[in-house]
Chain A
Amino acid sequence: MSAAEDIANEPGRGFDRGTANTVLHIDDVHKSFSGLHALSDVDLDVREGETHAIIGPNGAGKSTLLNVCVGRLKPDRGAVVFDGEVLTGKHPHEINQLGVARVFQTPEVFPELSVLENVMVPALSKRDGHFRLNPFKNFFGEKALRDEAENVLESVGLQAQLTDMASVMSRGDKRRLELAMGLIQHPRLLLLDEPTAGMARHDTNATIDLLKKIKEGGMTKVIIEHDMHVVFSLADRISVLAGGRIIAQGTPDEIKENPKVKEAYLGEEQV
């Protein structure tokens, strides 16, 4: 029996797997590091097709929560359920193959590969699964994948840098590249950890437009962001984390008016 099934069948667990239109259900997740509670009793539902922003001050536990979702960290208690399937205990590659892609806070690309190769690798993973021994299928002969990768790179504005090595790109360009790496997999759930950090305002607005366009395609997104302009431009619903706990959830307007949020994070004058 897998670790995920162990957790699901744990006596007395009895967590629900979310409602019919819930894509991601985080159930009573708790995580601590050497006695420091990074996450406490976190419950969260992300609905199909929505853009759900998670905001909170530095050290609130936002990135830890994403790490728990993608299998990088194992929660001390609780579980993460995606589309009815328990993710807790699964390996990162298994979680990705189920349809969950992640864009990292610090750009994580393949520095020694070209921009085009960086995007074609996740496309291959999506098409061929987690392992396929195809030692004589020429990578550069994958015309369909290549065309698709070029289209995605065009949508993020990197069409002029196809043959550039990822190692020589600026931080902002690496972020756009990482976004393209996530988008080409057409995930059911895209987790974005500060996707516009390090970008100039013009690029930030372009990324907002791009993410809005994706929203029209129905992809569900969870976005962690410090830039309130990005959050209020994109989010359908917002959850606010502070001290590892969710202190408020609601629509952008509800969050703006929430006194707990004002006190913990946003500040009176910003809202």
Chain B
Amino acid sequence: MDRKTNLKDWTLFLGFAAVVLCLPIILDPIGANYPDLLQKIAIFGIFAIGFNILFGLTGYLSFGHAAFIGVGSYMSLWSFKLLTMNVLPAIAFSVILAGMFAYLIGFVSLRRSGIYFSILTLAFAQMSYSLAYSVLTPITNGETGLQTRAIRTDPATSLLDGDIRIIDQALGIQEASVPTTHFFGMAMSGYTGFYFCAVLLIICFFIAQRLTNSNFGMMLKAIKSNQNRLNYTGIHTRPYLIAAFVISGMYAGLAGSLMAVTDPIAGAERMQWTASGEVVLMTILGGVGTLVGPVLGAGIIKYAEQKVSSWNEGILDSFFSFLPEGLQHFMSGLGALFVGEGWHTTLGLLFMIIVIFLPGGIMEGIRRIAAVFARKSKSNNTSAAAPQPAE
């Protein structure tokens, strides 16, 4: 491999890993240093990186990826209920099952492209959502949601109301009345939970980076660029698309599993189309087809969701307290439309601005700013080197 490209890739990877591991310090000044938010940023970062493998590289826009989140979450919960509270088997089973489910959906949906593909994936996800509330209630526990319980003492008790945890029982592990997930003894809550998710995010980023730069990744980019031409070049594009869809689904399954790991409850709302739409927003906001962009988009949206949605008119009143009273009330009243429950309006506006002015997302903005600085420094060097006229 070209040494310069290799160095650039490793620099990007190590920079990314350093930023992720230092997130609690980096986000502290903006009041985002608390485990719940940090965990969400890491988990949705994984989801967005995986989604970008499909959407960013092949151009196929899926509106059904939330289904894999749901599959991952339910599978993990069942692993906790039946086998052990150790997260390792839960994650492994979730990723495998999500991959199998993605293969089924991909096999059918990828017979079409463009809007028809998007509609098919949306239909599958909504179907899964409805099934979770109806036919599959014995597995999903319907509206109540699936959660871990204490080990049942009476075999007649339903598995939904009492767990068995065969492995934990066989190993004689004693547990508290409210069982907690752990990774070989390390509880998956608080900062430990975040660092566990952060390490997985870094691994996922590394895999995505390798995939993007591989022969396989190049074929996916060629599909996005001109699928028809690729067929006449001797490439059967469908298996490549199915592989990308399955990998992407496995990433989503992992994200769903981590949601259950950090908060052991799973509900069907995770499979709703809004969750699929959210990852589309994250990817476009950060920068489609870039490696860092989707994670950045996930971070911004999760931060805004937690922060902006918690603001209310009272906070805005104190923010605008320097204004005359009438103007203060007007401004806080106006601002109230965009905070609290109205934070989706803010998100919508932000999304529109990005799509109109920065179609390449925030990463394009960063590139443009970098280009301006590069030009300035170049022109400074040129003028410094230019011969000065004699006085």
Contacts and interface: CB of A to CB of B under 8 A. Distances in A.
B228 A138 contact: no
A93 B234 contact: yes
Nearest to B5: A140
A93 B228 CA distance: 10
Contacts of A125: 233-235
A121 B219 contact: yes
A121 B226 CA distance: 12
A124 B213 CA distance: 14
A97 B231 CA distance: 10
Residue among B216, B226, B229, B232 with most chain A CB within 10 A: B232
Residue among B210, B222, B243 with most chain A CB within 10 A: B222
Interface in B182-223: 210-211, 213-219, 221-222
Contact of A131 (B213, B226, B239): B239
A57 interface: no
A4 to B, nearest CB: 16
Contacts of A185: 233-234
A101 B231 CA distance: 11
Contacts of B247: 135
Q: Which 7 A-B pairs have the closest CB atoms?
A: A96-B234, A141-B1, A110-B225, A125-B234, A130-B236, A112-B225, A135-B216
A42 B175 CA distance: 81
Contacts of A141: 1-2
B1 A97 contact: no
A111 B230 CA distance: 12
A108 interface: yes
23 contacts: A92-B231, A93-B232, A93-B234, A96-B233, A96-B234, A102-B232, A104-B232, A110-B230, A121-B230, A125-B235, A126-B234, A129-B234, A130-B234, A131-B239, A134-B214, A135-B211, A135-B217, A136-B214, A137-B216, A139-B217, A139-B218, A140-B2, A185-B234
A1 interface: no
B1 A91 contact: no
B233 A128 contact: no
A111 B222 CA distance: 9
A126 to B, nearest CB: 7
B222 A110 contact: yes
Contact of B225 (A102, A113, A142): A113
Residue among A96, A97, A120, A125 with most chain B CB within 10 A: A125
Interface string B233-245: 1111101100100
B305 to A, nearest CB: 33
A102 B1 CA distance: 31
A144 interface: no
Q: Which size class do A's interface residues fall under?
A: 35 or more
Nearest to A122: B233
Interface of B: 1-2, 5, 210-211, 213-219, 221-222, 224-226, 228-237, 239-240, 243, 247
Nearest to B236: A130
Contacts, number: 105
Contacts of A97: 234
Contacts of B2: 140-141
A182 to B, nearest CB: 9
B214 A112 contact: no
A133 B243 contact: yes
A138 B243 contact: no
Contacts of B236: 91, 93, 130-131
A142 B221 CA distance: 17
B241 to A, nearest CB: 11
Describe B's contact surface by its main secondary structure. helix
Contacts of B233: 93, 96, 121-122, 125, 181, 185
A70 B243 CA distance: 26
A104 B226 CA distance: 13
Contact of B232 (A108, A113, A131): A108
Given A121-B218, A121-B233, A137-B215, 11 more contacts: A92-B231, A92-B232, A101-B232, A108-B226, A113-B222, A117-B218, A120-B218, A130-B236, A131-B240, A135-B211, A141-B2
A126 B234 CA distance: 7
Contacts of A111: 225-226
B20 to A, nearest CB: 22
A109 interface: yes
A134 B215 contact: yes
Contact of B229 (A91, A108, A129, A136): A108
Given A108-B228, A122-B233, A126-B234, A134 B1 contact: no
A112 B1 contact: no
Interface in A115-174: 117, 120-122, 124-126, 128-142
A112 B219 CA distance: 12
Contacts of A112: 221, 224-225
Nearest to B233: A122
A124 B215 CA distance: 8
Contacts of B228: 108
